[in-house]
Structure 1
Amino acid sequence: MSPTWDSDSAPEPVVIGPAGWLRVALRGLMLGTLVFGGLAILLLVRLIERPLCGMQRPVTPHITQFVCRNAFRVLGMGFATRGALMPEPGAVVANHASWLDIFALNARKRVYFVSKSEVADWPGIGLLARATGTVFIERNPARAREQTETFRARLMAGHKLLFFPEGTSTDGLRVLPFKTTLFAAFFTPDLKNETWIQPVSVIYHAPAGEEARYYGWWGDMDFGSHLLKTLAARRQGSVELVYHAALRVAEFPDRKTLAARCERDVRRGLDARLKALNPQD
């Protein structure tokens, strides 16, 4: 398992007043209804979709996308994107700052996340991940060939895979060095010439008056308190996705070179937007 990134300075304490708890109740009820109501519909549709289409999912990803788009409306957060989605088969890689990344990246593009195997057993989240077609992997070299075959089957079925090469989440103000392990799967003979990778910068803009890392989720911060803080916020900020030019795997000699280029594009996108918003820094 990758080590968890931590900051030298502790996050702001979560303080929720009476009005904040009212927002928690209202938004929480709406968000829960949206997410788990959408899950119920997805599972019902999948009962028909799976025997007819197998690995293909022509309908259910649209349900996931609808839920994720509307989650930001429930939270009151702004959502914006820049750049074109790649039409080619392959994968998407992005920096990782928060659990909100899952909603943001699903809202713009129908993708299937690649996640560590432990997530499958997490209460609630594991069920959502399994239902939406997440690919679970073990960080075990002995399983590398099997996992590469899983990637190949999913890509050949037309799925766009998405993973976070940093291996952990941060405060949203930096990009950690990209780990290269998962990039190796795209260099197999039957995928190398047909696969593309699209880097994406995920950028959070904090609510007015709050610290820049407001939406970041890192270290030993627990999910529950971060969720409550987000639901309780009187003013919300926004999330922005910047889609960079897709990279053809065959144009790179190896996984390390490809990972380094993806990391560079994602970092430049994040740094450029943060600098534009804070020109005095």
Structure 2
Amino acid sequence: MAVDDATALSELDSSIRTEEEIAAKPLLPAPYPSPSAASTTTAPMAEESLEELDRRYAPYARRDAYGPMGRGPVGAVEAARLAVAAAVLLPLRVVAGLLVLLAYYLVCRVCTLWVEEERDGGEGEGYARLNGWRREGVVRCGRALSRAMMFVFGFYWINVYDRRFPNAEDEPLDQCKNMERPGAIVSNHVSYVDILYHMSASVPSFVAKRSVARLPLVGLVSKCLGCIFVQRESKASDFKGVSEGTTTNGDYLLPFKTGAFLAKAPVQPVILRYPYKRFSPAWDSMSGARHVFLLLCQFANYLEVVHLPVYHPSEQEKEDPKLYANNVRKLMAAEGNLILSDVGLAEKRVYHKALNGNSLPRALHQKDD
């Protein structure tokens, strides 16, 4: 489904929402007024900088009941609900989640017995070349246990809208599937739950930080999945399988890295949405521990998945990975009603530092630290 027609692209452009079309509420508090005359002179400049942050960093702003960083004030009813869940639901889910993770670790341990780990530069890189019963065990158990883990996290039902085969009624399904084989899955990145869903659906390989390979339990699992380990800050991280590079609040779509498009092969666009009432499963401006705590304390969480038709690149897109990535991004934004934004990981860190109490000039100075 190559978008190589100028008219089609212009229609996509006109259907995509931009940040200017949405009146985003302030994300950061206004600075306290200073009694000195010198500070009064520079106050308007600080105000303008904060307004700019509100616009540029909107993809990371939380708008649920718990507010920025998950530290906002909550009502008495919500506080009581959270206390009950923390006392009853949280311990059960923590134990169940650890048991599921341990079970998959043991599966991976058995499937890698007497298999030498592939190494690159003296460091273990994984077991991507497992085959036969070993690969079958990793894949089948991975899909089942990933879905079990999502159930533990409160994702009891997942609504999946499959648009991959729009003409399936006219052609045999097997023939359609043989024609529609993507080389990579390109998805928006909203939460760590994204990984669990993709594992439960197809068990693909992921791009992960090199430090993930050294984590207890998770390290072996990631190696068995054939993860590609990269240095996050290195340019080499722009490798296959990486799309946005960081998580958002689910309303925005960040620029895609070109790694998944370098092979010139078709890609499978997937859109993930996390509807919520009180707590958003999006991992945007909150610490990992606090986010997991609040997610496990919510009785039910929701996920909607849209599988778009496989995108086949035009000859021009094959020669220009940036054009290919941008056209897929525009298509996903139009189909998913997402807002295109150009901010990235560095800006996200500035926003987090500002929320944590750093002054704006200091946060901007620490942007590349």
Could you say which TM-score interval applies, normalised by the shorter chain?
0.7 to 0.9
Aligned to 1:244: 308
| Structural mapping, 1:55-204, within 5 Å | 55-56=130-131, 57-77=135-155, 78-83=157-162, 84=164, 87-122=180-215, 125-138=218-231, 140-141=234-235, 162-163=241-242, 165-180=243-258, 182-183=259-260, 185-186=262-263, 192=264, 195-204=265-274
Mapped contact 1:49–1:59 kept (Cα < 8 A): no
* Alignment correspondent of 1:38: 104
- Please name the residue that 2:291 is paired with: 226
Report if aligned partners of 2:143, 2:203 keep a CA contact under 8 Å in 1: yes
In the aligned structure 2, how far is the partner of 1:17 from the partner of 1:61?
A: 38
- Whether contact under 8 Å (1:202, 1:239) holds in the other structure is yes
Give the letter for the 1:13 counterpart: R
Note the alpha carbon deviations across 1:134-164, whole angstroms, 9 max, x for none.
Answer: 11123545x58xx97xx6xxxxxxxxxx43x
Q: Which residue of 2 aligns with 1:6?
A: 60
Cα offset, 1:37, TM superposition:
1.1
Q: 1:55 to 1:45 in 2, by over 3 A?
A: closer
- Offset from partner CA, 1:19-48 (integer Å, 9 cap, x none): 433101001111110122122112212327
SS at match of 1:198: strand
> What's the RMSD between the two structures over aligned residues?
3.2
Q: How far apart in 1 are the matches of 2:205 and 2:257?
A: 19
| Structure-2 residue corresponding to 1:156 | none
CA distance in 1, matches of 2:248, 2:100: 27
Amino acid corresponding to residue 205 of structure 1 in structure 2: P
**Percent of aligned positions that are identical:** 22
Q: Specify whether residues 250 and 121 from structure 1 end up closer, same or farther in structure 2 by C-alpha distance, changes over 3 A only.
A: farther
After TM superposition, the score normalised by the length of structure 1 is 0.73
Query: In structure 1, what is the equivalent of residue 323 of structure 2?
Result: 257
Equivalent position of 1:278 in the other structure? none
* Counterpart residue type for residue 298 of structure 2: A
Partner of 2:349: none
The runs of 5 or more residues in structure 2 that have no matched partner are: 1-56, 73-78, 118-127, 166-176, 339-369
Q: Which amino acid aligns with 1:185?
A: L
* Partner Cα separation in structure 2 for residue 97 and residue 168 of structure 1: 8
Q: Which residue does 1:189 correspond to in 2?
A: none
**Do 1:242 and 1:269's aligned partners in 2 also have CA atoms closer than 8 Å?**
no
CA distance in 1, matches of 2:87, 2:200: 27
Once residues 291 and 222 of structure 2 are traced to their aligned partners in structure 1, the CA distance between those partners, rounded to angstroms, is 20
- 1:184/1:69 Cα in 2 relative to 1: closer, same or farther (>3 Å)? closer
CA contact (8 A) 1:201 1:243 kept: yes
Cα contact 1:171–1:218 (8 A) shared by 2: yes
Specify the alignment match of 2:8 in structure 1: none
* Corresponding residue number in structure 1 for 2:83: 17
Q: Which amino acid aligns with 2:61?
A: S
Counterpart residue number, 1:277: none
Structure of larger gyration radius = 2
The count of aligned residue pairs is 240
Q: Residues 244 and 170 (structure 1 numbering): CA distance in 2 closer, same or farther, change over 3 Å?
A: same
Counterparts of 2:335 and 2:206, CA distance in 1 = 21
Q: Is the 8 A contact 1:30 1:74 kept in 2?
A: yes
Structure 1 unmatched runs, 5+:
152-161, 187-191, 273-281
Q: Displacement of 1:80 after TM fit?
A: 2.3
Structure-2 separation of matches of 1:233 and 1:21? 12
